[in-house]
Structure 1
Amino acid sequence: MENKKHLWEKVSRNLSSHISEIPEKCIQILQLSYNHLPMHLKPCFLYFGAFKEDMEILVRKLISLWVAEGFIKKEKQKNIEDVAREYLMKLIDRSLVLVAGRRSNGGVKTCRIHDLLREMCLRIAEENNFLKLIKL
């Protein structure tokens, strides 16, 4: 390509438009993972949108909130907290939730989600009237 300013400005404008589309395309691709989640995991995943961006979430607190919201279904011979931990591990195994910190026994202590996944959570939650965040 010739070393002319107007040609490089044209490249810059075109590149900027493609870069601004990348997050939207990523969210569309990530939404396929959400669409393939079992129904019982969808509200648990969407609940991550309630937390601030880049926040490390204490698993104990998350499980308590899921239980309080009624997202966890009691299973035979398992306590409800263990079922909630299994739900969380299924989300981690699907790479929708990231392990941020571990306990000394290897269990998950804190977790978080990627910014784009949080953005997707908020979008889907709004579309489904699932979560309403109030900014003060």
Structure 2
Amino acid sequence: MKMSKKTGWSLVAATALTVLGYGAKKGKIPFISPKLVPDIAKVASDAGINEEKSFGGLKESVINGIAKSTNKGEQAFIDGNELVYQFRSNSNKMVLEAKFIINAAGKLVMTFVSGNYGNQPNAPRFFEDSLVEAMNKANENN
């Protein structure tokens, strides 16, 4: 499994802060007060919690921005290894979902669409096209 640079540095920072906090609590590091240990622990836990998920090389906030700018798009979020795209029905009465994965060949594939559309609604297809374009641009820059 490939780890992003941000994840790697977050783990290094969390480990370093944990070691420093432990040393300060035991009195082995004199320049760090034991009173700072709770603050160090909070910073270390926040480093892992606040990390933004990514899908296909794009951060979740970027994907959500693409979703909101797509016709009928409401939001998009990452659920495990799937990308969930929520969109409005043609009547604007229901919020429906489409789920995407990246297959072994590296292609974006729609695996599920809620409602009675089957795999024919237009909103997820427009979102898919915009997402593939953004993923290609992001991967060209890396």
TM-score range normalised by the length of the shorter chain: 0.3 to 0.5
After TM superposition, the score normalised by the length of structure 2 is 0.32
Higher strand proportion: 2
After TM superposition, the score normalised by the length of structure 1 is 0.33
Higher helix proportion: 1
